[in-house]
Amino acid sequence: MDTSKPDYISFLVRMWRKPEDKSDWTVQIEHIPSGVKRHFNTLRAFYAFIQANANDQKEIYDDE
């Protein structure tokens, strides 16, 4: 079994604003190979997750 980290990570990103609160975006990402979905209530949380994955500091399946 290959346990090395991938050189390519694929996500589908959906973003929307709630009509009553246009101050920040809600983000849903889906990890394409596994189908695992995560939600973020701020762009800051979403960016931190993406950066951590790019730096191999966090696994896709970890809790926020």
Q: Output the tens digit of pLDDT for each of the chain's 64 residues.
A: 556 666 778 899 999 998 887 788 999 999 888 899 999 999 999 999 988 888 775 555 554 4
Does residue 46 lie in a domain region? yes
Full residue range of the structural domain in which residue 42 is found: 11-54
Does residue 63 lie in a domain region? no
For 64, the 3-state DSSP assignment is coil
Q: Is the pTM of this model over 0.85?
A: no
Give the position of tokens 């949380």: 45
Asked if 38 and 28 touch (Cβ cutoff 8 Å), the reply is yes
The residues, ordered by sequence, that sit 6+ positions from 27 with a Cβ below 8 Å of its Cβ are: 13, 14, 15, 39, 40, 43, 45, 46
Does residue 3 lie in a domain region? no
pLDDT attached to residue 60: 58
Tally of domains in the chain: 1
